[in-house]
Structure 1
Amino acid sequence: MNHLPRSNAGEHTPHGPPLILKHDLPASFVLFLISIPLSLGIAHATGAPLMAGIISAVIGGVVVGAISGAPLQISGPGTGLVVIVAGLVAQFGWAATAAITLAAGMLQLALGLTGISRVVMSLSPAVVHGMLAGIGISIAAGQLVVVLGGTAASSVPANLALLPGEVAGASLGSVIAGAVAIAVLLVWPRVPRASLVPAPLVAVVLATALAFVLRLDVAHVDLPDSHALTFPEMPQGNVGTVVTAIVTVALVASMESLLSAVATDRLHDGPRARLDKELIAQGTGNVLAGALGGFPISGGLARSSTNVAAGAKTRYAAIFQGVWIAVAVLAFSPALELIPLSALAGVLFVVGLKLVSLQRMRNLLQHREFVVYAVTVLGVVLFGLLEGVVAGLVVALLRALYRLTHCSVRVEGNRVCVRGSLVFLGVGRLVRELRGMPQGETVVLELHVDYLDHASYEAINDWREGYERLGGRVRVDEVHDTWFDRANQGKPGRRKTLPGPLPRWFAPWSHWQGTPGAVTLPAQRASAESDPMLLGMREFERRSAPLVRPFLHELAMRGQRPQQLFITCADSRVVPNLITTSGPGDLFCVRNIGNLVPMSSAEDRSVGAAVEYAVEILNVSTIVVCGHSDCGAMKALVSGSAPRGSHLRSWLRNAEPSLIRFHAPTAPGCAELPVADRLAVANVAQQLDNLLGYPSVREAIVAGTLTLKGMYFDISNARVYLVDADRNGLEPVPSPA
């Protein structure tokens, strides 16, 4: 939440030469060292010209970095596009693929201008991560063939079919260079302080040095003349196929970039990503990349997380990185051409495997989303990226439909409890359970539903009428809303019930036991079946206990630590936890007739003991005295109606100081109240004074560890006020600052 205020001012974060030189310049060198091998490896993995990867790395750094909506995201050749681009190169050739990239960039620009970028966040995470895992497996399978000295095919099944032959005739030089690169990438992060030097750089340098020293027979990087750019050409073939390719590149590049931008935001405290602007920047980069024969561009989490870890603070890290890549290619291309292709393949092999996250799988298993993930992965691996994503989305939608329309049915004796949305898809199971109930009994159908369609209502009503014709009785209890009752009256609901803070049965027993909102047919059984308290205990065990049991167990283990001593009247209409929105463990309560605090413990030892225990043992920070309207004790005090010699009359003697206080000038805001209610306000103020008669209370107040507060609860209007003890007046509860 702390990030939100910065998002509006993210582009105006002050940055000057000191900040750039201290943070962004060093980070840009780290990025440069990573981007060179990754860019070359990604291009080689697809059959694209190696210079295409370099061109996109430069454009992604300089152009996209300069106008990006996510300043700390690093863009370049898209890892998630490897499988797609490999297929396009094989089908159309590189020049036509460049044209497709250019058109995809224009589509991204249009999408960014429409503000549709946030739609990508509505995709199921299981589908997105399944897509990335499928791409990772595809990359790893293809690059393993290259490490063995072969040429990768365009699909995972084809690459797996090539493996036996490649293993049998493996090129020793390629295997050594690739194995060294893979081993370094796996081991380097475990070396102390090794993170100062990027692992991909170390892997490629060591593999290259080894191949040079041992004169290994391996294929090397072959960079064409930097002036020999490939310009786009119109793709030849079916228009529908070309359009599908453009849309696929645009959507996958956009999805990878936007998800990476959101994930990068979680890694730093700087400006938040502006997704529409980021999509426009990516589109601009792909238009330029396509026009110059570059690889399709997208934002990448691997490079972006490295940028954050290296200490970058502004977009200048990305810009400088692009500049260093351009300088390196122009000035040091002979050195780059010493790199073995199998070393780059080893780097990409590990990058692909890292896209398959075991931690993500565990999380999806816990959230019961693994099926969607697995279907997406298998679809991408076996049939292609677009097919896999569509398959994952279909499964995700079917599961969402099932969850939205599914209801649980539980039978407990003669009570049938239904939870969820009750629609025609789930009514069959409910009817089977209802038809299995023994004849001639009283059956309670308890509905905890947020929607009930007409088919479900008809099914329940038909069963109820048939059951009653055979001598049985049916009671329909509706807990959260009155769907069945409204349908019974010919006024069915149309929309799902929005979740509310309280269930309907949070009310007096007479309400939830069946009067309003429930179809209550003949009388209940006698004895224990009709005892309100026993019924209430049963309802607690069934509905509330499972929800509060973990919390109460924790309270039982650590003991009570309330912050307030709450002294209030015994009136049954005053519910302390309700009017203070508190729960178990929050309030240490004392209740008596008239919410009285005798001036000394000799008058009533129970109140005195509670006050001392709360202050000295529990260390409460607040003592609240709460009076209320229509108080019977105050009425008896005003009228003197308490019988002589009764315990009530004896107890009310403790309130005589309140009567004296009551005859003081009427405080503003109380003049319109009835006499007994004005006395109730004065009584609260008097009890606050009485509390000062307790030494422990006085000492805690002087020490600054305790405060006293007066409250008044207007029952009929459900309003709570604070009591001004100096004026015997009422004040509204202040709004939070």
Structure 2
Amino acid sequence: MLHNVFRYDVPASLVVFLVALPLSIGIAVASGAPVVAGLIAAIVGGIVCAVVGGSPLQVSGPAAGLTVVVAELVAQFGWKATCAITAAAGVLQILLGLSRIARAALAIAPIVVHAMLAGIGITIALQQIHVLLGGGPRSSAWANLTALPGEIATPQWSEVLIGGIVIAIMLLWRFVPAGIRVVPAALVAIVVATAASYSPGLTTDRIVLDESVIDAIGLPSMPQGSWSSIAMAVLTVALIASVESLLSASAVDKMHDGERTDFNRELVGQGTANVSSGLLGGLPITGVIVRSTANVSAGAKTRASAALHGVWLLLFSVFLVNVVEMIPNAALAGLLIVIGVQLVKLAHIDLARRTGELIIYGVTLLAVVFLNLLEGVLIGLVLAIAIAAWRIVRVSIVAEDLTSRIGAGGPPRWHVAITGSCSFLALPRLTAALATIPPGAETSIDLNVDYLDHAALDTLDEWIRQRRANGDEVTVTETGTARMEFAHARPPRRDTEGRRVISALRQILPPQFAGGVGRFSTGLAPLLRGDANGAAAEHDPHTMLLTCADARILPNLITDSAPGELLNVRNVGNLVGGDLSVESALSYSVERLSVSTIAICGHSGCDAMHDLMHGDATGSVGRWLELGAESLAAFRDYDPVAKAAAEAGFTGADQLSVVNVAVQVRAVQRHPLVAEHLAQGTVTVVGLFLDLATARLYLVGADEITEIDQRGTGVAEVREVVR
């Protein structure tokens, strides 16, 4: 055990120490607190959280996420009172941890947390740009924005140069060789900028330490003001510090395979650290993802690494504290600008766009920047809850007239698709959709819902009863997890069993595959069990279908076949000759199952045909595609069906795909087993081609192809071939 500490944790702790040192000082400056307060918080956070906390590899300390809050508290209550608020927030964190509700903090919408951090980052960057230009930050983001043009017009070039050096090194460090990159970019940037600041002709302001770390230690003073404002301050620090720490711990758990976080213990540890830091005169503490990532990446194995990083900070703060006063303010400004900008992550914005949460992200960010952090987070949470509630109760109801598609003759035909969560809130839309269906129409209702209450069921039942009483045909298909038969028997509920099954399957199967298997087990399987034509139906296929193995081809879907009706055979390129699986399937189909049809189905965008045409395939695939030599020759000789395919608009490999279907049809027809049944008229061989881009299906003949469309064109030709 001790050997592993020296081998892994000691080197990792030194790396984290070098990362934490400049960041702790910079965060203190950005918070408007004494510089030594950042060092005290880093020392306490490293040692106390490592010893008491529940996350083995998370590193805690002062975090950028609380700079705006601390700056407001310092301005409102003063520094010593802010320390008391920090200690009180720590007590609240300990109580929350002991009450074992730590995981509740993870229920806060991550998009709100991402936007909160981005808003804090923008606020920090707006403040520090003024310092970089030689001025001072304003009291609000709007004031910083409006004053920025004046600062840009009259910059202090020495400050700009020093800050620019830091920014350049921070941004370009990822391009240096990996061996050099083990040294933290922030440390290199501060050291280089500090050295450059002593160049002749440069004048710059430097950090001023009013007292040493030892002298700074002292008890806080009670805040002066209304109890409500003090309580709100304590609650704000406690909640933000808790959420940020627990989310960071959760992220750190995903970075390693060791011991997992005990979230309640971690919250107790964070609270203990904040009580200690507040009483000693330090900044509020949270789990810090930047330091934690450095810790894991450096190879840390136990919590000893985080504790040792605190020890190194303590030794530095006692014996080398004068080094801090050499650092220019502009260098820290450049560091904080980069940190602030890095809090705005493009990946989070893209995730918000893809998941439909961009409005939540944008509103939260703007509210945090231009109002304040607490109001911004509350606004974001309310908006997130409202959108989530809307998504939960939303239902899609589409009533569509199919009469024109089917053609003239017979009564009107309508299709009603109800998808989502169908409750009393959907009744206005449901009744309006049903009212559009004219009397005398044949109606099919597809009920694909995960939630159905008795009010919605009563409306549907009443409408169906009235229509059937008037002699109209109404059919209902239930494909969702909520069933009409249970709407009056029990309270409406979602498919929690299905989620449990999927969760269990994900422990042993890949996530997407597990999801599909789980949805089948809890959704479709119950329907099949109660259906005489379901999975247990008699195995009596009327057709053997040979298709390409392409994942986009769904044989039972394109042929609208129920279980037991279709014998599926699949291989790369839907090729016939030389494959024992096809040979055995043909024998099984015509001799034992007595199928009446053998169909060969090719498709557009076929990789096999592309490789066959260009000779790109190698290895076993290349040897397999040698079976397509006859198809390639027919294509190059411009076989009549190739001409027909060209006239239909198909080119290149798609044209070869059509030719390949015709050639494989001929190969099956020549097969001794099939030829005998063809002569007797008991088997028919047909060719099909599916254009994936348009979802159009074509009948492939010896010298022509015919589209089978919604108007029925091609159906007569199919029947003629089958007959």
User: TM-score w.r.t. structure 2 length?
Assistant: 0.68
SS at match of 1:213: coil
Which residue is 1:457 aligned to? 457
Match of 2:372 among 356, 377, 384: 384
Task: State the distance in 2 between where 1:19 and 1:376 align.
Answer: 45
State the AA in 2 paired with 1:66. V
SS at match of 2:225: coil
Which residue is 2:419 aligned to? 419
Match of 2:48 among 53, 63, 68: 63
Which residue is 2:527 aligned to? 505
Task: State the distance in 2 between where 1:533 and 1:105 align.
Answer: 73
8 A Cα contact 1:483 1:492, kept in partner: no
SS at match of 1:409: strand
Question: 1:450: how far off?
Answer: 2.6
Question: 1:558: how far off?
Answer: 9.7
Task: State the distance in 2 between where 1:509 and 1:69 align.
Answer: 52
1:557-572 map, 5 Å: none
Which residue is 1:494 aligned to? 492
Question: 1:422: how far off?
Answer: 0.5
Question: 1:87: how far off?
Answer: 0.6
Matched, 1:356 2:382: no
Cα separation, partners in 2 of 1:130 and 1:511, compared to 1, 3 Å: same
8 A Cα contact 2:396 2:419, kept in partner: yes
Bigger Rg, structure 1 or 2: 1
State the AA in 1 paired with 2:182. L
8 A Cα contact 2:450 2:482, kept in partner: no
Which residue is 1:302 aligned to? 290
8 A Cα contact 1:134 1:381, kept in partner: yes
8 A Cα contact 1:83 1:154, kept in partner: no
Question: 1:155: how far off?
Answer: 3.0
1:23-62 map, 5 Å: 23-62=8-47
State the AA in 2 paired with 1:86. A
Which residue is 1:322 aligned to? 310
8 A Cα contact 1:87 1:154, kept in partner: no
Cα separation, partners in 2 of 1:555 and 1:374, compared to 1, 3 Å: farther
Which residue is 1:123 aligned to? 108
Q: Runs of 5+ in structure 2 lacking a partner?
A: 403-413, 499-518, 535-540, 544-553, 562-567, 594-623, 625-723
SS at match of 2:484: helix
Question: 1:111: how far off?
Answer: 0.9
SS at match of 2:398: strand
Question: 1:308: how far off?
Answer: 1.4
8 A Cα contact 2:63 2:286, kept in partner: yes
Matched, 1:177 2:162: yes
Match of 1:402 among 371, 390, 399: 390
Which residue is 1:209 aligned to? 195
Which residue is 1:136 aligned to? 121
Which residue is 2:244 aligned to? 256
Matched, 1:114 2:102: no
Task: State the distance in 1 between where 2:573 and 2:323 align.
Answer: 67
8 A Cα contact 1:44 1:50, kept in partner: yes
8 A Cα contact 2:399 2:434, kept in partner: no
8 A Cα contact 2:122 2:344, kept in partner: yes
Task: State the distance in 2 between where 1:217 and 1:508 align.
Answer: 85
Cα separation, partners in 2 of 1:508 and 1:304, compared to 1, 3 Å: closer
1:258-277 map, 5 Å: 258-277=246-265
Match of 2:231 among 235, 243, 265: 243
Matched, 1:233 2:255: no
Number of residue pairs aligned between Structure 1 and Structure 2:
533
State the AA in 1 paired with 2:484. F
8 A Cα contact 1:220 1:341, kept in partner: yes
Task: State the distance in 2 between where 1:390 and 1:266 align.
Answer: 28
8 A Cα contact 2:141 2:370, kept in partner: yes
SS at match of 2:165: helix
Task: State the distance in 1 between where 2:13 and 2:528 align.
Answer: 61
8 A Cα contact 2:440 2:471, kept in partner: yes
Question: 1:481: how far off?
Answer: 5.9
Question: 1:115: how far off?
Answer: 1.2
1:407-556 map, 5 Å: 407-412=395-400, 413=402, 414-468=414-468, 472-480=472-480, 483-486=483-486, 491=489, 493-498=491-496, 499=498, 501=521, 502-503=523-524, 504-507=526-529, 510=532, 541=557
Task: State the distance in 2 between where 1:473 and 1:135 align.
Answer: 61
Which residue is 2:140 aligned to? 155
Q: Give a deviation string over 1:100-146, Cα, whole Å, max 9, x none.
A: 00000111111111111111222222112111111111111111122
SS at match of 1:337: helix
Question: 1:99: how far off?
Answer: 0.3
Question: 1:339: how far off?
Answer: 0.3
Task: State the distance in 1 between where 2:428 and 2:6 align.
Answer: 70
Cα separation, partners in 2 of 1:544 and 1:144, compared to 1, 3 Å: farther
Which stretch of the first structure deviates more once superposed, 82-91 or 160-169?
160-169
Q: Give a deviation string over 1:579-599, Cα, whole Å, max 9, x none.
A: xxxxxxxx999689999xxxx
Q: Runs of 5+ in structure 1 lacking a partner?
A: 1-14, 513-531, 546-551, 569-586, 596-616, 618-737
Question: 1:362: how far off?
Answer: 1.6
Which residue is 1:365 aligned to? 353
Task: State the distance in 2 between where 1:471 and 1:453 align.
Answer: 27
Cα separation, partners in 2 of 1:230 and 1:448, compared to 1, 3 Å: same
Which residue is 2:7 aligned to? 22
Task: State the distance in 2 between where 1:24 and 1:588 align.
Answer: 66
8 A Cα contact 2:37 2:282, kept in partner: yes
Question: 1:294: how far off?
Answer: 0.4
Task: State the distance in 2 between where 1:557 and 1:379 align.
Answer: 57
Task: State the distance in 1 between where 2:372 and 2:570 align.
Answer: 50
The alignment-based identity, stated in percent, is 41
Q: Give a deviation string over 1:694-736, Cα, whole Å, max 9, x none.
A: xxxxxxxxxxxxxxxxxxxxxxxxxxxxxxxxxxxxxxxxxxx
Question: 1:80: how far off?
Answer: 0.7
Task: State the distance in 2 between where 1:588 and 1:366 align.
Answer: 47
Task: State the distance in 2 between where 1:554 and 1:285 align.
Answer: 63
Task: State the distance in 2 between where 1:120 and 1:239 align.
Answer: 25
Which stretch of the first structure deviates more once superposed, 357-366 or 94-103?
357-366
8 A Cα contact 2:216 2:281, kept in partner: no
User: TM-score w.r.t. structure 1 length?
Assistant: 0.67
Which residue is 2:84 aligned to? 99
Task: State the distance in 2 between where 1:47 and 1:482 align.
Answer: 57
8 A Cα contact 1:86 1:154, kept in partner: no
Task: State the distance in 2 between where 1:410 and 1:245 align.
Answer: 50
State the AA in 1 paired with 2:170. L
Q: Give a deviation string over 1:461-499, Cα, whole Å, max 9, x none.
A: 343355456653333333446743455xx6464333443
Task: State the distance in 2 between where 1:589 and 1:262 align.
Answer: 58
Q: Give a deviation string over 1:224-254, Cα, whole Å, max 9, x none.
A: 2221335311111111111111011011111
